[in-house]
């Protein structure tokens, strides 16, 4: 296995006195798709949001342990620089109420890229990479809110790509979409992994099996804290799980 892009070491997260994630150690291999699966409430979204410190927005959250990006502790990094390197796509498409162009250009602009033509080129490149360019190239000034749900989600992906991150976190990116739009996103993921490291949370096991290279299975213990039960290559997890709980889950006995 190559040097991991990100890794967590003994990572715990608390909401006030409640422990939501219990001592998770896990590696995110580069240029691969890592899926995080598990039943509702097991903390998979919370875990995903740990990689770009989005949990800090919630008052009363406290963490212990380490999260590393390219060997560097993300808590010692500036949060703004961290989020630039670790992008995120949310469960529900959340384009800003601006034009398509302005949505994609948003990140580059705040990070200081202002020159007109290179910005246009960057927007075009990002939209192409998100497989949206052909559908919107003639109406870049149209409101992003006029796009369909699937298009909006690909716009959000383009928006994340435009800041040229290393890692993209995706929180159930297709759960609000219809099957055709879902398929498009899944195809897109395969092309994206050539250049990016992707971590995706999904509650859909078929999807995890279809798209990911590695799979992590999270489960609540008796105190309702999320634990990493098993982590490994997706094929192995879905065919020969080592843990009986993983087997129960993927065979649909609970969840």
Partner 1 sequence: MSSRSPAGRKLVQAGAFSLLWVSALLSVLVLASVVGYVMIKGIPELNLSFFTTPPRGGLSGEGGISSTIVATLYLVVMTLLVAAPLGIGAGVFLVEYAESMQNRLMKPLIRIARFGVETLAGVPSIIFGLFGYALFVTLMHFGFSLLSASLAGACLILPVVIRTTEEALKAVPQSYREGSLSLGATRWETIRRVVLPSAVPGITTGMILGVGRIISETAVFYVTLGGSYRTPTSILSSGRTMALHVFYLAMETRAFEKAMATGAVLIACIIAVNLAINAVSRRLTAGGGRW
Partner 2 sequence: MTGTVSARGRMKRLTDSAMGLVLLGSALVSVTIVLLIGLFTLKEALPAFRDIGLVRLLTGTEWRPGQDLYGLFAMIAGSVLVTLGAIVLGLPLALGCAVFLAEVAPAWVRAVVKPSIELLAGIPSVVFGLFGMVVLVPMVRGIDVPGNAGFGLLSASMVLAVMILPTIASVAEVALRSVPEEYRQGSLALGATRWETLRRVTVPAARSGMLAAVVLGLGRALGETIAMIMVIGNAVMMPEAATSNPLTIFLSRARTLTGNIAVEINYATGLHAAALFATGVVLFVLIMIVNASARALLASGMRRG
- The residues binding partner 1 (CB under 8 A) are 78, 80-81, 108, 110-115, 122, 164
The CA distance from 79 to 63, in Å, is 15
Residues 70, 77 contacting (CB under 8 angstroms): no
Of 171, 201, 169, nearest to 37 by C-alpha is 201
The CA distance from 45 to 68, in Å, is 18
Residues 167, 155 contacting (CB under 8 angstroms): no
Of 25 and 81, nearer to partner 1 (C-beta) is: 81
- Residue 188 binds which entry of partner 2, partner 1, none, with Cβ cut-offs from 5 to 8 Å by kind? none
Of 73 and 221, nearer to partner 1 (C-beta) is: 73
Among 21, 32, 69, 82, binds partner 2 (CB under 8 A): 82
- In whole angstroms, the minimum distance from the beta carbon of 108 to partner 1 comes to 7
Indicate the DSSP class of residue 63: E
Using the structure block, give the residue that is written with the tokens 């609000």.
176
Among 25, 64, 118, 141, binds partner 2 (CB under 8 A): 141
- Residue 102 binds which entry of partner 1, partner 2, none, with Cβ cut-offs from 5 to 8 Å by kind? partner 2
- In whole angstroms, the minimum distance from the beta carbon of 111 to partner 1 comes to 6
- In whole angstroms, the minimum distance from the beta carbon of 27 to partner 2 comes to 22
- Residue 4 binds which entry of partner 2, partner 1, none, with Cβ cut-offs from 5 to 8 Å by kind? none
H/E stretch holding 238 reads helix 234-239
Q: Any contact of residue 98 with partner 2 (CB under 8 A)?
A: yes
H/E stretch holding 4 reads none
- Residue 94 binds which entry of partner 2, partner 1, none, with Cβ cut-offs from 5 to 8 Å by kind? partner 2
Of 121 and 236, nearer to partner 1 (C-beta) is: 121
The CA distance from 231 to 31, in Å, is 17
Could you tell me the end-to-end alpha-carbon distance of the chain, in angstroms, rounded to an integer?
30
């Amino acid at each position: 296995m190559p040097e991991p892009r990100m890794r967590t070491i003994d990572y715990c997260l608390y909401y006030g006195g409640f422990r939501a994630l219990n001592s998770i150690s896990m590696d995110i291999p580069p240029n691969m798709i890592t899926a995080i699966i598990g039943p509702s409430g097991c903390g998979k979204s919370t875990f995903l949001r740990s990689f770009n410190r989005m949990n800090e927005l919630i008052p009363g959250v406290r963490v212990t342990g380490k999260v590393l990006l390219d060997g560097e502790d993300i808590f010692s990094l500036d949060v703004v620089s961290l989020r630039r390197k670790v992008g995120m796509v949310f469960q529900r498409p959340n384009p800003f109420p601006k034009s398509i162009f302005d949505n994609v250009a948003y990140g580059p602009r705040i990070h200081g890229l202002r020159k007109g033509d290179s910005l246009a080129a960057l927007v075009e490149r990002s939209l192409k990479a998100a497989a949206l360019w052909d559908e919107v190239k003639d109406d870049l000034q149209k409101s992003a809110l006029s796009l369909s749900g699937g298009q909006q989600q690909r716009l959000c992906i383009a928006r994340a790509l435009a800041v040229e991150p290393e890692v993209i976190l995706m929180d159930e990116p297709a759960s609000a979409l219809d099957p055709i739009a879902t398929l498009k996103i899944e195809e897109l993921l395969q092309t994206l992994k050539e250049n990016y490291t992707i971590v995706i949370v999904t509650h859909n096991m078929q999807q995890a099996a279809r798209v990911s290279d590695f799979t992590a299975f999270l489960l609540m213990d008796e105190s309702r804290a999320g634990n990493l039960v098993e982590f490994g290559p997706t094929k192995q997890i879905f065919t020969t799980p080592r843990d009986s709980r993983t087997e129960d889950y993927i065979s649909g006995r609970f969840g």
